[in-house]
A = this chain, B = another copy of it.
Amino acid sequence: MMGLWRQFCWRGQESAGIVTSDGESSQAFKVHKGMGLINHVFNADSLKKLYVSNLGIGHTRYSTSGISELQNCQPFVVETLHGKIAVAHNGELTNAVRLRRKLMRHGVGLSTSSDSELITQLLAFTPPLENDDTADWVARIKNLMNETPTSYSLLIMHKDIIYAVRDPYGNRPLCIGRLIPVGDMNGKGKDNSETEGWVVSSESCSFLSIGAEYYREVLPGEIVKISRYDVQTLDVVPRPEGDPSAFCIFEYVYFARPDSIFEGQMVYSVRKRCGQQLAIEAPVEADLVSTVPESATPAALGYAQKCGLPYVEVLCKNRYVGRTFIQPNMRLRQLGVAKKFGVLSDNFKGKRVVIIDDSIVRGNTISPIIKLLRESGAKEVHIRVASPPIRFPCYMGINIPTKEELIANRPEFHDLANYIGADSVVYLSVEGLVSSVQESIKARQENENSLKNHKFRVGKIGHCTACLTGEYPVELEW
């Protein structure tokens, strides 16, 4: 079956929802939402009910602001004079409080605490309405973008059109994939006429599993109109003069899957470069380099390669973690997180070990691992962290612990090696991280389709390092 399908795949785990449209009547939206993992929320019945066409938007939620309540589930749908619209949103508005108040002052009651409803009602409200017989949704979207600078990636569905929007700072990711027709696996079918449809996602890694291929990123400030027939840039809303873009650097460090592509580079490669940079910044005399499986593995391989030390596995994942049928005693509490791992002691007995971790947030994960390695025979345990310490809260969509909980803001940070029981601990510098991220962007910038050849101004490339430096890309409002 030929068809057009668009999928909006966030990475969250608290709630999930899908809205489909029959593509003709704006009244004919089908909605299914629920709390929990996507596989619990949807079953054969609910999917069958949704399948009115191959047009729809979905959302999975990883809670940031807004309490985890059912009514906060996205996509958010409202009926307007000009038909229903459905909105899925990733991010967090930095001026949400002011915008909520503004809407309520006009008599709109807000039924949830979610930015998604706020955005949806702002789109519905935009005056002048009394004489507005034809809805100009693009004007409404631009109006919204002028009201709030960041952070949001949006999918907005109305009848048979989906608008994909990224805020002018490009803080949250959003990219477009192309469904490939059946049987075309060898490069054929790459011209537009054979495209089966389009999908939009936060992370490109989701394309492979649904038979699509990466097409391009939505640019910071870009409004893309996706119809059955094509993908078309309607406008690129600019940032204030001089402001660089501000894509979240934490996506590279920790949040995204390694096979995702942002700004023309694979996340895995960035992480590997971070490991290499860390080897330059903080070498150590040791016998082997290893990782805390499995997110830090690319950085560990990069570190090992740069240092010329062998890469060796010291822990294996314990897939069948569960309750233990023994009363928890002091020793078990001491081991704590170690239950999640098996120890490959033959691989490091009597050796000096460097462990690469991707980040240390609260410090209570790495400490028992170090203890475990020492008990199993490691002579020395050195920790190298492939990112700088997190010191500040994020107000743009990432759920970071409070300032008080962050290890970098606690007294023990001053003698961290001793506190966690390591022989040494060194973090990657902020400069080292930024250069590891931007090195390849600069190199590739001229060659990348997704960043050239358009009439619109994209501006200077930068990254949001607010959680590391406290320098937020826009002024925060309360």
Contacts and interface: CB of A to CB of B under 8 A. Distances in A.
A113 B1 CA distance: 33
A34 to B, nearest CB: 7
Interface string A153-164: 000000000000
B208 A334 contact: no
A205 B339 CA distance: 11
Given A85-B109, A211-B335, 13 more contacts: A18-B325, A33-B70, A76-B111, A79-B111, A80-B109, A106-B107, A108-B121, A182-B330, A182-B331, A208-B338, A211-B332, A257-B342, A268-B313
Interface stretch (A126-134, A240-248, A386-394, A465-473): A126-134
Question: How many copies are assembled?
Answer: 4
B266 A345 contact: yes
Closest 3 pairs between A and B when the two form their complex, measured CB to CB: A78-B109, A109-B124, A259-B342
B109 A334 contact: no
A211 B78 CA distance: 42
Contacts of A47: 323, 325
Contact of A124 (B85, B108, B335): B108
Given A110-B78, A322-B38, A31 B330 contact: no
Contacts of A123: 109
A184 B371 CA distance: 13
12 contacts: A50-B325, A76-B111, A79-B110, A109-B125, A179-B326, A209-B318, A210-B326, A211-B326, A211-B332, A257-B318, A266-B345, A301-B313
Overall SS of chain A's interface? mixed
How many A residues touch the partner, as a band? Answer: 35 or more
A269 interface: yes
Max count, chain B CB within 10 A of own CB: residue among A77, A121, A259, A297: A259
Contact of A266 (B107, B208, B346): B346
